[in-house]
Amino acid sequence: MTQYHRPALPGPELFEAQAGEVDPADRIEAGTRVATLLVRGPRDADDQALVDRVLHLADEEGLDALAELWSGAPVDSLAGCLWRLYVLRTWVRRQPDLAAREFAAGKQFAPVDEVIAGVEDPPGPTEVAELVDTLVRGLVGDDLATTLDRAAAFARLVGVGRAHLADDPPQSTQSAARLVETAHVLQHAARQERLGSLR
């Protein structure tokens, strides 16, 4: 029987390695552990040391390096949620004007009270980027479900807005559908979080 071991903290060398050199299962395991510690908080001094190293890595290398760990995580996992939030954040930061335009269009075509139950005021593009930064910093605490609901509302509104503003209907429709699917995933994760089953 193989003895269980905690995955080592991935450092910059992980991201410089060739794709074939890193076992995908080890990457997912490390990503799951890092996501859990960032969101749920450390349990002991070793966990705190790991969180400090991860945050230092994020400061030095950017969130890209950290998010790489989450990219292969299962959709219905905490790490999978962080990956989707990271993708939203990255897009908002790269295309803030487009994000704002699609968000505003979405609010015209999808009444806010129908977007996500319980989210009366969905966050705008800037707030989504800040919300994800806060989450990755482990500052959300007990509000994770609300954070996921708010991000879901944003994704759904942008998806609806993108579909209505489509310059290239087939491509925009597919992209809009992916955003709406992301909203479903995040909303489902929020429900799982409230049930205590999001891992």
The string of pLDDT tens digits covering residues 127-173 is: 888 877 777 665 555 688 888 888 898 899 999 999 989 777 777 88
Measured distance CA(199)–CA(193) in Å, rounded = 8
Q: Which domain holds residue 33?
A: 12-70
186 falls within a domain: yes
92 falls within a domain: yes
> Could you tell me if 135 and 114 lie in one domain?
yes
1 falls within a domain: no
Give the pLDDT band (50/70/90) at residue 14.
Answer: very low
Q: How many domains does the chain have?
A: 2
106 falls within a domain: yes
Specify the amino acid at residue 99: A
Give the pLDDT band (50/70/90) at residue 6.
Answer: very low
> Could you tell me if 94 and 25 lie in one domain?
no
> Could you tell me if 177 and 101 lie in one domain?
yes
More confident residue, 10 or 178: 178
Residue indicated by tokens 């969130």: 63
pLDDT reported for residue 5: 38
7 falls within a domain: no
pLDDT reported for residue 2: 40
The answer to whether residues 166 and 135 touch, using CB atoms and an 8 Å cutoff, is no
> Could you tell me if 36 and 85 lie in one domain?
no
pLDDT reported for residue 172: 80
> Could you tell me if 87 and 169 lie in one domain?
yes
